Amino acid sequence: MPDNAAKLKGVDRAAILLLALGEADAAAILTHMGPKEVQELGLAMAGMTNVRTESMETVMRSFVDTLRDQTSLGVDSDEYIRNVLTKALGADKAGGVIDRILLGRNSKGLEQLKWMDARSIAELIRLEHPQIIAIVLSFLDSDQAAEVLSVFPERVRPDIIMRIATLDGIQPAALQELDEILEKQFSGASNVKSSSLGGVKTAANILNLIEGSIESSIIEQVTSADQDLAQEIQDNMFVFENLIDVDDRGIQTLLREVASDQLMLALRGAEEGLKEKIFKNMSKRAAEMLRDDLEAAAPARLSDVEAAQKEILSVTRRLADAGEIMLGGGGEDFV
């Protein structure tokens, strides 16, 4: 545990709070969370040892203060949710969040996919029409969608990515068809409405998080089929070198979330400008040690370097989605 309780990360604060509440209440709270949140909180709780009284009191005090600021007024209005999230996050970033809240609330089958491993999802939908597969992957979080796409045969990946990139809203009939497919597997029912899932940014986000050689192969094949679309996808991709456009505060936030050995491996394939930006946002001693380690390190496989970069990009996406860092240099969100 950090010595300074005020510096506890949000997930650590939540973990301490759940541990303090006891098994029954903690379990009840977790049932209202998504798979990623449950996994992150579970890992944080498992790592909690010798929690200081100071830390516990800080967390509880913060929780009580937050409750005092909340209202008990319940609002059951899609329009209200849309307006609040749009004002808070901006139109671009809020769009995906709104779709997941409103569509996910009404469609239990799709939500259940988020709890499944990539191979199980791929097996479930592998015989469906590519457009149905594209809709499913558009609904999943980008990192999970990237894992599922990696499981599919190489020959079908470009077609799926192109369908995701050109997906411009989903008609109710198409979602109803998808619900019927999932209903056979989960015995669930839903009342599905139209949604704006998919698009070039969704395709780009999935490719951001897929293994490097697979990404290159997909882009190459999409380029052969539709050069303009391939270029548009690439223009929307956030690659490791784009971290140079993140402001210093964002880099410092990112560095607190990344393991030093992972960072060293990722920087093996980075340009000097990005390396210098990383060094500048570390303490002098830490920067010197990292420089020395990079110079003394044995050669690394390109696939390992790319994998480390993808992991850091995944962390970057999580921090950007949480509003903790801004990407693009000019204050643009990574959505």
Per-residue pLDDT at 181 exceeds 70: no
DSSP per-residue string spanning 269-306: TS-HHHHHHHHHTS-HHHHHHHHHHHHHPPP--HHHHH
Per-residue pLDDT at 14 exceeds 50: yes
Per-residue pLDDT at 129 exceeds 80: yes
Domains and CATH numbers, the chain: 5-69 (no CATH), 107-236 (1.10.220.30), 240-321 (1.10.220.30)
Q: DSSP secondary-structure letter at 166?
A: T
For the ranges 80-84, 139-143, 276-280, the lowest mean pLDDT is seen at 80-84
Section 207-219 average pLDDT: 82
What percentage of the chain carries pLDDT values higher than 90?
10
Q: Is 149 helix (H, G, I), strand (E, B) or coil?
A: helix
Split at pLDDT 50, 70, 90, the class of 237 is confident
Section 164-168 average pLDDT: 87
Rg (CA), the chain: 22
Query: For 63-118, how does the pLDDT look when each residue is reduced to its tens digit (9 = 90+)?
Result: 666 655 555 444 445 566 566 556 655 665 555 555 555 544 444 566 677 777 78
Tell me the average pLDDT of the chain: 75
Residue predicted with more confidence, 265 or 96: 265
Query: For 297-335, how does the pLDDT look when each residue is reduced to its tens digit (9 = 90+)?
Result: 888 888 888 888 888 888 887 888 777 888 754 333 333
Per-residue pLDDT at 247 exceeds 50: yes
Per-residue pLDDT at 191 exceeds 70: no
For the ranges 11-15, 53-57, 200-204, 259-263, the lowest mean pLDDT is seen at 53-57
Residue predicted with more confidence, 243 or 105: 243
Count of CB atoms within 10 A of residue 55's CB? 21
Query: For 25-47, how does the pLDDT look when each residue is reduced to its tens digit (9 = 90+)?
Result: 777 777 777 677 777 777 777 77
CA distances from 291 to 133, 285, 287, 288, 302 (A): 45, 10, 6, 5, 19
Count of alpha carbons within 13 angstroms of residue 144, beta-carbon side:
19
Section 249-264 average pLDDT: 89
**Nearest C-alpha neighbor of 211 from the set 120, 112, 284, 143:** 143
Section 219-243 average pLDDT: 86
Per-residue pLDDT at 278 exceeds 90: yes
Per-residue pLDDT at 166 exceeds 50: yes
For the ranges 15-19, 143-147, 192-196, 296-300, the lowest mean pLDDT is seen at 192-196
Split at pLDDT 50, 70, 90, the class of 2 is very low
Split at pLDDT 50, 70, 90, the class of 162 is very high
